[in-house]
Structure 1
Amino acid sequence: MTPMLFGPASRQLFGLFHSPERDSGIAVLICPPLGQEAVRAHRLFRVLSDRLARSGVAVLRFDYHGSGDSPGEDTDGDLEGWRRDVCTAHEELRRRAGSRRIVWLGARLGAALAVLAAKSGRCDPARLILWDPIIDGARYVQELRAGHVEALERSFCVPDPAWRRRLAKDGDAFTDEIFGFGVSQLLRQQLRALGPETLQLTALHETVVLADAGDHIAHQWAGKETARHMPLRVTPFQHPLIWTSDPHPNNAMVPTEAVQRLLAEVHE
């Protein structure tokens, strides 16, 4: 595993390249979630990347601008900039992996960013694997706000009832900071504008969607894209990982079923 900084001097990104132990002809770019979800998934993607490398797959993990170990502040991040970061990471992986077939694995908001980057025409993944993709940005913001308040209540011996009142009455309450990560007004606006109509696929690559059968929004979106004759396959996938929660006895840090399913999809 090789740590590095890459990209233009004005917007460098931190990445970790996992060199393959043999040549499978495949390379994987991992487009991670953001915020607490990125923290929660960090160990899983480390384990997955190591196993992929042992099976002959070159892997690049990276942090978007203003997140993780990349330069910038939390509030510097926005969807358009992060979309460009995906393409920058793609080109870095292409430089290191040569002629290998590049697959993008995007999780949660990272899956939405992968769709936005792929349809921009600036980079050319052969295949997208979208794991629990965020399709309805406005709903996502609401879920994060509610989860943030629940986390506050768990952290205090005597929770403040005013938190719940603010959550119900003020749609912008608990959006400046969510789970300890700063969120800019621009990013909030972009997230609330994110929806199925902005996440249309192209026919230039294959797409696989891994989503719980109860995720009706993701399945409806996939159905509409299939109706547009996009090369898309949807696989119901249930796992015990709770994206915004710290691990606990019923929530393994690295769920075996998740690692096995993702390994299988990469080698499909």
Structure 2
Amino acid sequence: MHRPRAGRAAIADADADARRGKLRMKPLLFGPPSRRLFGLYHAPEGSKPSDTAVLLCAPMGHEALRSHRFYRVLAIRLARRGMAVLRFDSHGAGDSPGADEDGELEGWRADVGEAARELHARSGAKRVIWFGARLGASLAVQAASVPGTQVDKLVLWEPVLDGAAYLQALRERHVKELEWSHALPDAGWRRAMLRDPDAFIDEAFGFAISPLLRRQLLALTLADLVLPSGVEIVVVAKPDDRATQGWVAQQAAAGRHARWLALAHSLIWTSNPFPNNAMVPADALQQIAGELSE
């Protein structure tokens, strides 16, 4: 699995970097003892801190790796604008305790709420914005709908709206990566994917997908992603993403304060960097940071 070192080792490394002046952030473990989460808290910089705090909700698996640098640069930029920022790893992901097989949607939704409470306790901010990409965006929508949750604005980057289609895309891309990484690819991989619906369903790019998580994702539809009322919502996606654009239009027609932001230059979520595939697309960073710091 592509899991980095977890928990205290990661905190020790980040603390050491902070002492050497490389980073201006606080690594921490938070949450209940039975479900500790690893996070990085960026305190607001400058002489005039903002009254806004930002929670960053990461995608799943390889997409989290692919966007890690984007999240880091975004957090640093927001902190320099005077905002408190918390980025975190859900249970079983990144540097948080737990195995890949422990990851599942209900628990991850609860992790978003726990991270939001931690951010509020540390920052004392009057206004809270959540940013999420891919599955992190979908989980943010669901967590924001929990009664009593404080969130003033959601910025969602290419949220997963169809869990079954998402799983199928991961499956197809997983086989392509297998073929690409071998000098003599096995033609049986692609035949198995096309003929056997149970082939390549328990792993994507080295990250395990448990039977429970698979069932939950297969059941994930637009009906599970009703935007909360009274919250400003900005959805960022490619100009030709008609499905996402239609979802935003439906939510706006239903009285939600939802608007669409077209972004031509996006990350290729399931690919390692290539010459035309930037780690941190400048226009994406500029537009998303602008939405979060308005």
Q: TM-score range by the shorter chain?
A: over 0.9
Q: Deviations over 1:20-75 (max 9, x none)?
A: 11412111000010100000100111111111100101100000000000000001
Give 2:126's aligned amino acid: R
Corresponding residue of 1:132: 158
SS of aligned partner of 1:3: strand
Distance 1:71 1:251 in 2: 31
Corresponding residue of 1:15: 39
User: 1:216 aligned to 242, 266, 278, which one?
Assistant: 242
Matched, 1:143 2:169: yes
Give 1:7's aligned amino acid: G
Give 1:18's aligned amino acid: H
Unmatched 5+ stretches in structure 1: none
Give yes or no for contact 2:26–2:41 (8 Å, CA) kept in 1: yes
Give 1:257's aligned amino acid: D
Corresponding residue of 1:5: 29
User: 2:231 aligned to 196, 202, 205, which one?
Assistant: 205
Q: How does 1:1-268 map to 2 (within 5 A)?
A: 1-21=25-45, 22-268=48-294
Give 1:171's aligned amino acid: P
Give 1:105's aligned amino acid: F
Number of aligned residue pairs: give it.
268
Give yes or no for contact 1:23–1:57 (8 Å, CA) kept in 2: yes
Query: Pairwise CA RMSD of aligned residues?
Result: 1.0
- The offset of 1:214, in angstroms, is 1.6
Give 2:56's aligned amino acid: I
Unmatched 5+ stretches in structure 2: 1-24
Distance 1:157 1:180 in 2: 19
Greater than 6 Å deviation, 4+ residue runs? none
- The offset of 1:146, in angstroms, is 0.4
Distance 2:52 2:266 in 1: 28
- The offset of 1:219, in angstroms, is 1.3
SS of aligned partner of 2:87: strand
SS of aligned partner of 2:117: helix
Distance 1:188 1:248 in 2: 30
TM-score (norm 2): 0.89
Distance 2:166 2:241 in 1: 12
TM-score (norm 1): 0.98
Identity, in percent, stands at 53
Distance 1:228 1:104 in 2: 22
Q: Deviations over 1:222-250 (max 9, x none)?
A: 12111211111111112142111111111
- The offset of 1:171, in angstroms, is 2.1
Give 1:2's aligned amino acid: K
